[in-house]
């Protein structure tokens, strides 16, 4: 039976850390759905279309990876896709606690879906979309953190924020 | 001398985890005041009256437990009640750090009041009011996380949010 | 391509927590090798034969699981088995740090092998072989922590320790 | 009903941190048994008699505190004493994990006994019997860490170690 | 070559914990710039002028300390000042993770600037500007947490919040 | 006044992680003493002479670094060297707790000596002398973890362990 996995996230924007996890997942499972979540309570810098577009480009070279947006509970989305696995990257203790809590909540709702945690490359262990947006707003060059097209999108967005 | 304890919280809404701590406290102390805090900076989903009401129902079977709202510093409220003990549930590392910091700050303000930490049942260790609201908004059935009346209140509230 | 995984450990003795991880792994992968490590620096209570035997019994009901002992580096063993995945259970922060360090060291030695972390059922999150041996030595009934045959083996072993 | 608590430990030797916890417990409960454990696997520097004697002196001023040694499972000892509460001091994250695991294991064995965690004064948060022995062996003056009689006992013991 | 350090922060408001770190840094380095950051996304209670003023008063007795505000990336500010060192106080695990992530991000942007972590006095380990504002709003006396002039400023500010 | 620092450790054996910290310290301070501790309770794989020799070679290119062995309390050694600073590398949460406890104990014994924490390069964040010895014993090639001469020494030592 083909092993299908879902890798959910906000990807606001996608970073080299996310891409590293996507690559690892693509090697572990037969099919991987990268599931881009709608903006949560706090809002996102990029629209769902922009985020989808950036993840699509970043994942183009992984043949068994498909990028989609989803609504509602991620475990319901996973079931619809026939996925029995949820993938999460884990870098730090604080990640770990939140991820654990989320995974246990998901498990209560869907006993048949298993969360597996992967470690990104240690050189990406400090990367966070939040921090990248912060330093980009302060004028930093973020080309060591995100792909070139994401870097450009970030620059445009931030100029637009400041002039609007 | 009767041992009186205060168990403060926001309870937005009360969960099976909170109720487990209330039960443990009620066995340890002669009298327990569950003290419902006004909404903090971030606001609450339920009004103080709604939260009080839900905690009152959830605590009805514990004879030495009284539920009240309070204003101002919790250590002042505790003193007014003759309580020398503050009860806090502790589930995770991240809880622990915040709780520790809070308890040490309270101790600086009121050396005579001792904070004691209790562990809820491990099957509730992943429960958080925040996460429950999140998944309820996404359409999850939360009956394994909260009492039936809280579940119904949550459903109403969320429908109301969406239509208003 | 069949997905083959290795779940290495000392299993001194196997607990319900380990068995829960074995079950989860057996659902995720086509074939799982449970790899019982020789006793490390600190020695083990049970011999390699005894530990193997207990894990074999505990895993009998999982059809795609095979139990073996191994020597040397676990990544070499994994390669010999055609496994591209190492499975580790993760329960606590302190686990997490050690496991992370181990996984990163393994990755440096074998870039092609991916470590995936699974969460056992939360009711087993407190279980540790070390603690179980400790309380068994003090006379505790350990039947909620380990299978019946392991419980009996533990009892024999401890009586033998005391009389020898 | 009188609230009876047990505060178990190895106390090898007792420190100002332990004494602070004993004092806090003596204010919270009607009766506190400080329960000195036999030496574990790793052995202790001081004999059970020496450790008992030092804890007795350190606790003399707390009228509702009794110091005893115990054997076997601490939950059994607690029951024999009519105690429904186990007290543990908690200072650090690493404490927390071990203590949590221990408390959950105890809970599995004795559902009727509740572990409560107390915070020692923050100025004692770094104290550990292990570290104190380490620095005493290296010639440090430990009078800010332990009572005067413990300091002298430590000195004697260490001289004896070196000359034997 | 003179060793110049930068100690950046929001200081909303400055606490005895910050002042302790400033003092330690002033003993370690030839020159220390305390760099007051503009208000971030979440806003600050005090304006940049007010925060600068309070830090200046708190640092007056340290002769090699200069207090300034800065804009943009802190590593750029550090370079402009000829500083090769960034100082950060570290009190708790949660600090540690964020600080680590920030320091690694800064390192990626400026390999020549080293972040060093200092521990404030353990009696300040629980202090946080956020908690102090919280309890001050609830009417607490904060004179054990902040200097007298900061305490008065806080009081004024909070009265003003409530009446505006 | 020249800033003198001490970087103490067991270095059993020295790793690329230690060398990275030595380099960072050599840039921050005018003079750095790398202080090799005698073997503690648990013993060391390499003798003090062997460990000294390996650290000396690894530090040869840092002109302001001197490698020495020491006995007794490290704070006393630091004072003898005129050092006001102790340097420690910090990689993980578990490091952090132990290091914090050690630093606070040292501070109690010597208020004039400040411990500063440095982060090694993130690619060394998983390295530990203990783990390296473990995998070397299992036959791993450790050339990505330690300098060539240390690798050879390790190999010899381990062959010798097995044949003796």
Average pLDDT over residues A2-15: 94
Give the model's pLDDT for residue A126: 77
β-pair type (D31-36, D4-9) = parallel
Residues D73-107 have pLDDT tens digits of: 999 999 999 999 999 998 766 666 677 778 888 88
The verdict on F145 touching C (C-beta cutoff 8 Å) is yes
pLDDT tops 70 at residue F94: no
Q: What domain count does chain A have?
A: 1
pLDDT tops 70 at residue A35: yes
Q: How many CB atoms lie within 10 A of CB D54?
A: 24
- DSSP3 helix / strand / coil % (chain F, rounded to 5): 45, 15, 35
Question: Residue B112 burial (CB < 10 Å; 0-12/13-18/19+)?
Answer: exposed
- Which chains does E contact via 3+ CB–CB distances below 8 A? A, B, D, F
The verdict on C126 touching B (C-beta cutoff 8 Å) is yes
Provide the sign of the torsion angle of the four alpha carbons A28, A30, A31, A37, taken in this order.
negative
Residue E104 host element (H or E): helix E93-109
pLDDT tops 90 at residue A125: no
B65-69 sheet: strands from edge to edge? B65-69, B31-36, B4-9, B85-89, B114-118, D114-118, D85-89, D4-9, D31-36, D65-69
Q: What are phi and psi of D137, to 5 degrees?
A: -60, -30
Residues C120-141 have pLDDT tens digits of: 888 887 788 888 998 999 889 9
User: Which residues, listed in sequence order, are joined to residue A69 by a DSSP beta bridge?
Assistant: A36
Q: How many CB atoms lie within 10 A of CB E76?
A: 17
Count of residues for chain A? 164
Q: What is the DSSP string of A23-92?
A: HHHHHHSSEEEEEEPPP-TT--SS-HHHHHHHHHHHHTT-TTEEEEE--S-HHHHHHHTT--EEEEE--S
Q: In F29-128, which ranges are continuous DSSP H helix?
A: 48-59, 74-80, 93-109
Could you give the 3-state DSSP secondary structure of residue F74? helix
Give the model's pLDDT for residue A93: 60
Three-class secondary structure assignment of C52-73: HHHHHHHHCCCCCEEEEECCCC
CA angle B69, B75, B76 (to 5 degrees): 75
Average pLDDT over residues F71-90: 94
Q: What are phi and psi of E12, to 5 degrees?
A: -120, 70
Judge whether A124 and A20 are in contact, CB under 8 Å: yes
The verdict on C64 touching A (C-beta cutoff 8 Å) is no
Give the model's pLDDT for residue C161: 81
C97 vs E112: which has the higher pLDDT: E112
How many Å apart are CA F138 and CA B14, to the nearest integer? 53
Q: With contacts defined as CB-CB under 8 Å, which chain C residues touch A100?
A: 119
Q: With contacts defined as CB-CB under 8 Å, which chain C residues touch A3?
A: 3, 28-29
- Provide the annotated active-site residues of F: 18, 42, 91, 129
How many Å apart are CA E41 and CA A132, to the nearest integer? 14
pLDDT tops 90 at residue F123: no
pTM attached to this predicted model: 0.90
Judge whether A29 and A4 are in contact, CB under 8 Å: yes
Judge whether E15 and E132 are in contact, CB under 8 Å: yes
Q: In chain C, which ranges are continuous DSSP H helix?
A: 16-28, 48-59, 74-80, 93-109, 129-137, 148-163
Closest CA to B13 of B68, B64, B38, B50: B50
Mean per-residue pLDDT of chain B: 90
Closest CA to D14 of D72, D65, D81: D65
How many Å apart are CA E21 and CA B56, to the nearest integer? 46
Q: What are phi and psi of A42, to 5 degrees?
A: -80, -5
CATH code, E40:
3.40.50.620
Report the residue of B100, B108, B113 to disrupt the E interface, i.e. the one with the largest count of E CBs within 10 Å.
B108
Give the model's pLDDT for residue F143: 93
Give the model's pLDDT for residue E1: 66
The domain containing residue C123 runs over which residues?
Answer: 4-163
User: Which residues, listed in sequence order, are joined to residue B7 by a DSSP beta bridge?
Assistant: B34
Residues E36-56 have pLDDT tens digits of: 998 766 789 999 999 999 999
Mean per-residue pLDDT of chain C: 90
The verdict on D110 touching B (C-beta cutoff 8 Å) is no
Give the model's pLDDT for residue D148: 97
The residue in chain E having the minimum alpha-carbon distance to the alpha carbon of residue B75 is E140
Closest CA to B92 of F98, A88, D107, C92: C92
């Amino acid at each position: 039976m083909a092993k299908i996995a879902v890798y959910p996230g906000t990807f606001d924007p996608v970073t080299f850390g996310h891409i590293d996890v996507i690559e690892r997942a693509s090697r572990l499972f037969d099919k991987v759905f990268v599931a881009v979540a709608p903006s949560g309570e706090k809002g996102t810098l990029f629209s769902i279309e922009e985020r989808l577009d950036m993840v699509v480009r970043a994942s183009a070279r992984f043949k068994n990876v498909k990028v989609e947006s989803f609504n509602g509970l991620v475990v319901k989305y996973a079931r619809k896709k026939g996925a029995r696995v949820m993938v999460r990257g884990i870098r730090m203790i604080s990640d770990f606690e939140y991820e654990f809590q989320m995974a246990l909540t998901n498990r209560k709702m869907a006993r048949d879906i298993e969360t597996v945690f992967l470690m990104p490359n240690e050189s990406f262990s400090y990367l966070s979309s939040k921090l990248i947006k912060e330093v980009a707003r302060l004028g930093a060059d973020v080309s060591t953190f995100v792909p070139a097209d994401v870097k450009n999108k970030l620059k445009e967005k931030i100029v637009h924020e400041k002039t609007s």
